Structure 1
Amino acid sequence: MLANRVPLYVDGEIVGAFGSVIFRDVNDWKKLSSHVRRTLEEIERNVHTGENTFNCISDLIGTSNSIRKIKETISLIAKTNLPVLIEGEIGTGKEMCAKIIHSLSELSEKPFININCSTIPKELVEIELFGKWDGTAIKNGRIAQADGGTLFIHEVNELPLTSQAKLLKVIQDGIIQPVGTDDEVSVNTRVLLSSNVSLIELVKAKLFREDLFYRIQSITLQLPPLRERIEDLPVLIDTFVNKFSTEAGRRKIKIHRKAYWALQNYDWPGNIRELQNVIQAIVHLVDGEQITEDILPYHIRRRQSNYNRSSGTLEEILDHVEGQVLKEYLEVEKDKCIIAEKLGISRSTLYEKIKKYNL
């Protein structure tokens, strides 16, 4: 397109402008107009709901092999209508993956409805999912609300067995049966599900229906805990520091190397969610432009290093521990003479070990 703007003058002062846009083809204008209208409608919905539904694959931060594989899988299956099971510990980003799948699908302009089975009493979860006949009309549940779009069921492992049977019918036949009636309602809803425990173990324990499991497990995303993709920590830390610094209206805050070392040597049992919450808190607590070790929560500052190795010969285990100790010293102290003195070895021996462990 060709865009042109002509200033409008009144008494020698610019009071506005006239803008014109020339398209090569009227179809181009129609496409752009339709896209702008849909985008504005989506923004308006987000303003009222407080949710950002514009999720993209780059929101999955990290370059580890596990994250790259998850990104590739999402790109392949997003445009299908197949159910997807997302397994991972609490705080690993299961809901974000579901939103990305929805945003990349053909249903991106349709509703994205979610329900968390762990936060709803078991006697009410069936009504919330399938709806209820109140004597005069059917009150729609979450599945009906997601008709034409996507339903994301958090922690499906908490769903009662009786409800699992009805959910299987939805996924297989596109039919729901509201509570309180024998009538069936047809729906066209894509179902995404998450679990914070291994469903196959629940199947073995007879706590999850085998037929439902095998219907939903053909496409499974296994989200690793943060401790198993520790190489992604630096970019995650930097991303969250920049994000929360901007939101707080502050200049970019730097992290002292000792604070960085403590953050990287913590296990993060709460995963991405815990990391995000900790970074958000310390950005608001820091006085100045650098995050120092003393600002970190006490349980992170303790630096409880884990040198455990469950297999290998004694020599291999000792080498592993020695390499880990050297790595931690090098991350905190750059002066090799000081490190050698603290470890009680000569500087030449230290350099030999650094070379041995490729540090």
Structure 2
Amino acid sequence: MKSVFQHLPETVLTQILENAFQWFVVVDKDCRILYINEDYCRFLEVPRDQAIGQPVEKVIENTKMHEVIKSGIADVASPHYIKGTYMLANRVPLLVDGEIVGAFGSVVFRDMTDWKKLSSHVRTTMEKIQLTSTDSHQNFYRLEDIKGSSQAIRSIKETIQMIAPSDLSVLIEGESGTGKELFAQSIHGLSDRETLPFVKINCAAIPAELLEAEIFGTYLESKDYVKKGRFELADKGTLFIDEIGAMPLTVQAKLLRAIQEGEIEPIGSHKSKQVNVRILAATNRPIEHLIEQGKFREDLYYRIQAITLRIPPLRERMEDFTELANTFLQQYILKSGKRRLILASQTREYLQNYHWPGNVRELQNVIQAAVYLAEHEIIEPTALPDQIKQVRRKKSKQFVNLQDAIEDLERTMIQDLLHEESDKREIAQQLGLSRSTLYEKIKKHNL
């Protein structure tokens, strides 16, 4: 390789660097630009003679060249948000005699024509994925997918059925892992917007400096470039704003105007666009506390909480535990290809006594792992995480009278037998009941 470059005139190397299907930049160990090709400069709208010698962060936004020099580790095919869009960038440290002397970076586009074509194709594809990902049979949840017969869950389901046909904004409150998106999708699925887009955005998952562009879009007049935001993608449908409490105040002000006026203004544009969007928002932090701390606008709060749904944590709805556990158990038995699995009585006891700080999502993950770790047809406690087995046994329930205690014991016995045995005749014999009496009690206890 060395001999090849020795025989190449400098003019040839320059032609290669200037006409390759990529944009290049080379920096020294202090992150000052030593070389940058002309096409990259044209895109960045900076004269090359002014770029040479400048700190790279002053010429290229969101650059990570300094991180590569510091770590000495190449960063390959990494998303790079620059001038309103994501590109793929490669960053490689340059070494001489084992010492880092600089870094080399490239972006996988050659000129504006190629960039616009590929960027437009990528944006169109990503928009289609965003619009259809939650519409698929596997990913989109309906009201019947909400498991549980506790009073709290029944009440929430009834409320959803009443409010879904309206365009009322809904604030869904609940701890992490309670399934807030499931409830949001259920509302959308029962509304007149059911066949229209359900678009979601998680405010906590996107850097604050990029969130406004993601929600409202970007317009670059000089480049005739438009990136649609989630608001526009959700037009005529539903926008689900998850973790809205993490939204910066500046973006909150713009969101308030969008809700009030029914129009948005993309970054870089001076023209408003009319949008018809229903807002569903979710938070795992009490918004009232954020308002007191000056982190959330009170006027926006009143706009998004025309209806508030509070999703109880799993520890407050343990009467739903059996149905949830059995649902996840059957789901992962099918996925694992195993024929039959049941929870050992001690395993079930551990699970029921645990406080579930991660709520339904944690239960789902524990059941999934247990299915794959089970060595036989019975899931023993050895398949459970240590923190679940370390929880002490619950104290006995406090009952008002003897009849309540008998009812509870009867329900528990029938429930356990139903889980371990599918033959109702066998269960009836074990309990000393006729089959008709057993069916009556199953109905009575909603099992």
Q: Distance in 2 between matches of 1:191 and 1:48?
A: 16
Give CA deviations for 1:139-165 in whole Å, capped at 9, x if unaligned.
210000111111111100000001111
Q: TM-score, normalised by structure 2?
A: 0.58
Give CA deviations for 1:219-264 in whole Å, capped at 9, x if unaligned.
0110011011111111111111011101212223111110000000
Aligned residues: 275
Q: Distance in 1 between matches of 2:283 and 2:296?
A: 12
Q: 2:330 aligns with which of 238, 242, 245?
A: 242
Q: Distance in 1 between matches of 2:289 and 2:141?
A: 32
Partner of 2:226: 138
Alpha-carbon shift at residue 182 of structure 1 (Å): 2.5
Partner of 1:83: 169
Q: Distance in 1 between matches of 2:139 and 2:347?
A: 34
Q: Which amino acid in the other structure matches residue 166 of structure 1? A: K
Partner of 1:286: 374
Does the CA contact (< 8 Å) of 2:171 and 2:307 recur in 1?
A: yes
Spell out the pairing of 1:198-209 with structure 2 (5 A cutoff).
198-209=286-297
Change (3 A) 1:306 1:164: farther
Q: Distance in 1 between matches of 2:347 and 2:282?
A: 34
Alpha-carbon shift at residue 82 of structure 1 (Å): 1.2
Alpha-carbon shift at residue 54 of structure 1 (Å): 4.5
Q: 1:73 aligns with which of 149, 159, 184?
A: 159
Does the CA contact (< 8 Å) of 1:144 and 1:187 recur in 2?
A: yes
Partner of 1:116: 202
Does the CA contact (< 8 Å) of 1:46 and 1:53 recur in 2?
A: no
Percent of residue pairs bearing the same amino acid type: 45
Q: Distance in 2 between matches of 1:181 and 1:207?
A: 27
Does the CA contact (< 8 Å) of 2:134 and 2:198 recur in 1?
A: no
Structure 1 residues without counterparts, runs of 5 or longer:
1-41, 310-315, 317-322, 335-359
Give CA deviations for 1:93-138 in whole Å, capped at 9, x if unaligned.
0011111111111111111111000010000000000001122243
Partner of 1:170: 258
Q: Distance in 1 between matches of 2:133 and 2:214?
A: 25
Does the CA contact (< 8 Å) of 1:227 and 1:268 recur in 2?
A: yes
Q: Distance in 2 between matches of 1:195 and 1:101?
A: 16
Q: 1:258 aligns with which of 321, 325, 346?
A: 346
Change (3 A) 1:308 1:288: closer
Does the CA contact (< 8 Å) of 2:171 and 2:280 recur in 1?
A: yes
Alpha-carbon shift at residue 181 of structure 1 (Å): 2.3
Q: TM-score, normalised by structure 1?
A: 0.71
Q: Distance in 1 between matches of 2:313 and 2:240?
A: 21
Change (3 A) 1:285 1:270: same
Q: Which amino acid in the other structure matches residue 250 of structure 1? A: K
Change (3 A) 1:118 1:51: farther
Alpha-carbon shift at residue 48 of structure 1 (Å): 11
Please tell me whether residue 156 in structure 1 is matched to residue 244 in structure 2: yes
Q: Distance in 2 between matches of 1:161 and 1:46?
A: 30
> 3-state SS of the aligned residue for 2:266?
coil
Partner of 2:104: none
> 3-state SS of the aligned residue for 2:201?
strand
Alpha-carbon shift at residue 47 of structure 1 (Å): 8.3
Partner of 1:6: none
Alpha-carbon shift at residue 304 of structure 1 (Å): 3.0
Does the CA contact (< 8 Å) of 2:220 and 2:269 recur in 1?
A: no
